[in-house]
Amino acid sequence: MGRLDGKVAIVTGSARGTGEIIARLFAAEGAKVIVADILDDRGKAVAEALGDAGVYVHLDITKEEDWSRAVKEATRKFGPPTVLVNNAAILFVAPMSETSAEDLDRLYRVNVRGAFLGMKAVTEPMKSSGGGSIVNISSVSGLEGTANCIAYSASKWAVRGISRAAAMELGVFGIRVNTVCPGPGSQEMGQAFHPGFPSREAYKEARASRGGLARLAPRPGTGQETVAQMILFLASDESYYCHGSDYSVDGGKFAGNVPLQYVVGPAALDPDATAAQNAGLR
């Protein structure tokens, strides 16, 4: 018995990265999966790898007509969708002074409008099925302000907001809505802005350059498999009492602050700076 036996899931942005991992995991656990993306060749390859458990649908998440078609295809092929994972998103990294109003609008259009339209599209099918689970992917940048990510951070805070509001509306119909807040995403998402991301060496170098105390994840990296496992749990009936909540999967980033010398070693730091830092900790 799989943990998602009998479930029909739409996973957006599942042609690559975390979305692909989620789609493959869902299929392995018994779900029928709509692999939804705008990367047709890669999306079709993922769906083919899933065999009878997967179907690819071209889905521009900003378009209502695409959502309507995706839901109809899911219903025609497998039955009404009972799980939605709003995973597709775009990233933009730049100082506020170099972020245009158009940049902000573009991120809201994809990251927020896309999740909003997805929830609207599956509400009636989930009602007809007696309930379901919606998992919206926010970010650790949706839990705090992130320098040079003002548009992205704002959009991911908004994802949490619309998720809470939807949870209050849909819970009465047996539809659970939760948000997962991962740490750094897939390499393909971040490499355009951070070449070499997220190597351990680059991680240490970037943090060490800040001096003083740094808030660090004890487990650097993307943790994509763990993120997928969290989403699997929220999609399954095991999480029947989880509703309207945020789940951070960040390697410990929000657990607290780590003195820098414990990460890179005292020898790697300027002695005077280390002494000053230690004095500040007393």
Tokens standing for 223?
């943790």
Q: Are 48 and 54 in contact (CB under 8 A)?
A: yes
| Catalytic site includes residue 152 | yes
Annotated catalytic residue, options 152, 240, 241, 247: 152
Q: Identify the three-state secondary structure at position 186.
A: coil
Tokens standing for 51?
């065999």
Q: Are 115 and 88 in contact (CB under 8 A)?
A: no
Tokens standing for 186?
């897939």
Q: Phi/psi zone of residue 248: left (φ > 0), alpha (ψ -120 to 50 degrees), beta?
A: beta
DSSP 8-state secondary structure symbol assigned to residue 111: I
Paired residues of 132 in beta bridges: 175
Q: Which residues lie below 8 Å from residue 1, measured CB to CB, with a gap of 6+?
A: 30
Neighbours of 103 (CB within 10 A): 15
Tell me the C-alpha distance between 198 and 200, whole Å.
7
Q: Are 23 and 12 in contact (CB under 8 A)?
A: no
Tell me the C-alpha distance between 31 and 54, whole Å.
9
**Residues with active-site annotation:** 152
